[in-house]
Amino acid sequence: MAGSVLPVLKPGIASPAPAEPLSLFSVVIPARDEEESLPGTLQEIHDAFTAAGIPHELVVVDDGSKDRTWAALQELKQKFPSLAPTQNASGAHGFGRAIIWGLDHSRGDAVVIMMADASDSASDAVKYWHLLNQGHDCAFGSRFMRGSQVIDYPRVKLFVNRIANFLVRIGFGIPLNDTTNAFKAYRRTVIDGCRPLLAPHFNLTVELPLKAIVRGYNFAITPISWRNRKFGVAKLKIKEMGSRYFFICAYVWLEKYFSRGDYRRK
């Protein structure tokens, strides 16, 4: 079952609509104090994408780092020609703001969001690229379905994660059981169709996929792997994010049930 794909399509559509082949895969990576993690992360993505023949750019967003992240990125540009580092100059920092900055400064007609700490598998990103090229609007990975693999997930965070994802799944009536994971891929038309993006922090990880689903874009779900970081510390603080996740879920839930389809894909 490993490597298999479970397609889940927009209601009323029997299969993804034929689409033009994609020309560039933008990898958006928010990074704050990740100088130790980035060399290995970028190497893995570069190797996997090069082997698969995927045209790509690596858009790493330095989100106010206090270490040598920006200097390291300048050095890594010599090794990875596809690297296009940028600094978040939006006026405020935050995981969501860094991703939005990266989306605004990327050129691809498809985008995948990946973490700087190498927790996401580059081979899974390759699967995403193929799913999008099959005509899917979105490619969603799940760490919690048959064929997936999770390595060294902190127990408390895992417990909170499963409760949060269960509530989201029930509240929105969707088959996706891993909405909170940032590692997902979208066609550019989906990103533009989900604007304006409101979440400035980690709650952007649920705003994007939920808006895409609610607004009528089709998607495929595939098992993925996840491993805990080797360097640095996790930036997500559960105590700080609870109310923010609730706010963005409530916002999109109200759109789903009360907007009368005003924001749905036309």
CB distance 202 to 99 below 8 Å: no
Residue 42 backbone dihedrals phi, psi, to 5 degrees: -65, -35
Inter-CA distances, 158 with 161, 165, 222, 232, Å: 5, 10, 20, 19
Instruction: Delineate the domains of the chain, giving CATH numbers in brackets.
Output: 22-258 (3.90.550.10)
Lowest average pLDDT, out of 38-47, 144-153, 222-231, 255-264, goes to 222-231
Amino acid at 58: L
Output the CA torsion sign for 40, 41, 46, 47. Answer: positive
Report DSSP letters for 158-215, one per residue.
Answer: HHHHHHHHHHHHHHHT-S-S-TT---EEEEHHHHHHTPSP---STTHHHHHHHHHHHT
Output the pLDDT for position 12: 41
CA 160 to chain centre: 20
Average pLDDT (234-251) is: 75
Q: What would the pLDDT profile of 33-48 be if each residue is shown by its tens digit?
A: 999 999 999 999 999 9
- With b meaning 16 or more CB within 10 Å and e meaning fewer, what string describes 176-186? bbbbbbbbbbb
The first and second tokens of residue 37, run together, are 């993690």
3-state helix, strand and coil shares in percent for the chain, rounded to the nearest 5: 40, 15, 45
Q: Is the pLDDT of residue 257 over 60?
A: yes
Q: What would the pLDDT profile of 84-103 be if each residue is shown by its tens digit?
A: 999 999 889 999 999 999 99
Structure-token match 């598998």, residue found:
121
Q: Residue 125: which region, alpha, beta or left (left: phi > 0; alpha: psi -120 to 50)? A: alpha
Q: Is the pLDDT of residue 80 over 70?
A: yes
Q: Is the pLDDT of residue 168 over 50?
A: yes
Q: Rounded to two decimals, what is the model's pTM?
A: 0.89
Q: What would the pLDDT profile of 138-151 be if each residue is shown by its tens digit?
A: 999 999 999 998 88
Output the pLDDT for position 4: 46
Mean pLDDT of the chain, nearest integer: 90
